[in-house]
Amino acid sequence: MKSLKSIKKPVIISAVSALAISGALFSQSTYAAQVTKPIQAVYNNIKIIYNGTEVPADAKTEPFLLDGVTYIPLKLAGTALDKKVTWDGTNKRVVIADNGVPIDQSTVTALNNQITTLTQELNTAKAANTTKDATIAQLQKDNQTLKDEASKNSSSTLKDLQKELNDDHSDDYDTNSDIELSGNKNDITVTIEMTKSRWEGLSSSKQRTYLEDIVEDILKEYKDAEVEGTVKNSSNNDKLASFTTNSRGDVTIKKVASSFDANSIQRDLFNRYSSYAGYGFDFSVRGDSSKADVDVYVNLDDWNKMSSLQRSNLTDGIIDFLKDEESIDRVNGTIRNKDNRNLITNF
């Protein structure tokens, strides 16, 4: 059974006491003075559901029916809608506002101070970065200046080294040579002049040692330089040989065709291979720079004792020497018995 309650409702200027679900506001004409009026309200255990959840109400906030209209307290509606509802007694008005987190002035001030500090730090960092850029630019300029000066001085420095090389090596092996350097600290060309007889009077091993001594002194001053050179006849400026080096200073000599000398080649082969693998060898060379015939003499029993690898290393070494260092285009070789000069094999 519906219950009836007699309530008194104060009417206040600019105030609304309840919100009608139907959308109508329960209001009353305003008067200059407070008016009290009895009404008949019906309470029927009305529930308020917001987004599927019941909004709790008590005896003071329970919705009711009046003249067929359902009324709910504005504060209850505000709670359901997450609004803040307050009563301004001085001005006799209901104030509805969004709920929010208040920020006190000290927090705002602290945040502003932090922003100011960070801005100053950023400006300081920008200034420091500008200074670093200027320093880098200056260092690059100084480095280029040093490179330019080094390039200008490289030729004079090579001249100084050239004088030292002539002082130290011009009389090595009685060559009476003249040494000239050209190029720069990265690529150095060596030109050595001596008479043909003095150059060809040196064995291949002495020629290599002579050149390697010179290259060694150059690499002491310019360890990363690439060194190559030429040996010329001081009488007519003809090229006697050219040479290249590796990073260790090892020299590879390439003789020119005009310097082909069978006796010199025989002597060089003898110095290299006369006691190869512990066996005795003799050599005979004839021909010219386009084609050379080489006879290698060995005791037949010794040849038979040698392994296949030892034999091939010997013959390959002879061919490589004649082609690479004596500039001979084609080599024909024979292995012959020392005792009777009979042919053992060809290579």
Among the ranges given (102-111, 250-259, 316-325, 331-340), the one the predictor scored with the smallest mean pLDDT? 250-259
CA separation, residue 298 to residues 63, 233, 308, 309 (Å): 131, 37, 15, 17
Q: What are the pLDDT digits (tens) for 4-41?
A: 444 433 333 233 334 444 343 434 444 456 778 888 88
Mean pLDDT calculated for residue range 283-296: 90
What are the phi and psi torsion angles at 126 (to 5°)?
A: -65, -40
What pLDDT does 10 receive?
35
Question: Which contacts (CB < 8 Å, 24+ apart) does range 86-94 have?
Answer: 91/14, 92/12, 92/13, 92/14, 92/15, 93/12, 93/14, 93/15, 94/15, 94/16
- The tokens for 169 are 């090596």
Q: What are the pLDDT digits (tens) for 97-136?
A: 888 766 678 888 888 999 999 999 999 999 889 889 888 9
Residue-range domains of the chain with CATH: 3-98 (no CATH), 153-259 (3.30.70), 262-346 (3.30.300.20)
User: Rounded to an integer, what distance in angstroms lies between the CA atom of residue 64 and that of residue 7?
Assistant: 11
Neighbours of 85 (CB within 10 A): 16
The residue assigned the tokens 């919705």 is 63
pLDDT at 196 over 70: yes
Residues with Cβ within 8 Å of 4's Cβ and at least 6 positions away in sequence, in order, are: 40, 41, 42
Q: Which amino acid is at 12?
A: I
Q: Which residue has the higher pLDDT, 302 or 142?
A: 302
Task: Give the DSSP H/E element, type plus range, for residue 5.
Answer: strand 3-8
Residue in 33, 41, 91, 29 with CA at minimum distance from that of residue 66: 41
Mean pLDDT calculated for residue range 252-271: 81
3-state secondary structure (DSSP) of residue 107: helix
Residues with Cβ within 8 Å of 18's Cβ and at least 6 positions away in sequence, in order, are: 26, 71, 72, 73, 74
Task: Give the DSSP H/E element, type plus range, for residue 281.
Answer: strand 281-287
β pairing state of 226-233 and 187-194: parallel
Neighbours of 336 (CB within 10 A): 19
- The tokens for 208 are 């290599």
- CA of residue 295 relative to chain centroid, distance: 57
Whether the full predicted model's pTM is greater than 0.85, yes or no, is no
What pLDDT does 156 receive?
57
pLDDT at 333 over 90: yes
Looking at residue 56, what DSSP letter applies?
Answer: P
Mean pLDDT calculated for residue range 72-80: 86
Q: Listing from the earlier edge strand, what are the strands of the sheet with 178-183?
A: 178-183, 187-194, 226-233, 239-245, 251-255
